[in-house]
Amino acid sequence: MKKVVSIAAVALMALGLTTYVVENTANEFDFMKDLSTMLACDGCSTTDDRRDPPYGKA
């Protein structure tokens, strides 16, 4: 019985570790996609402030 519990614990740990690695890898690819989008954007960050002034300040 102890061997069965031991094997089950090791299998569960391996499954958890595999899941963690897969999720971490997927997040890394999302980061690379966001980074390439940010680098491809020419005029995304401009300093123009086109908001209307607050009420009563104009």
The structure's pTM equals 0.47
Collapsing DSSP to helix, strand or coil, 1 comes out as coil
Residue with token string 């890898």:
25
Neighbouring C-alpha atoms within 13 Å toward the C-beta of 8: 5
Residue with token string 């940010």:
38
Asked if 11 and 5 count as a contact pair (C-beta separation under 8 A), the reply is no
Read off the pLDDT band of 50 (50, 70, 90). Answer: low
pLDDT digits (tens, 9 = 90+) for 21-33: 888 777 777 777 7
What is the Cα–Cα distance from 21 to 45, expressed in whole angstroms?
Answer: 34
- pLDDT at position 26 is 73
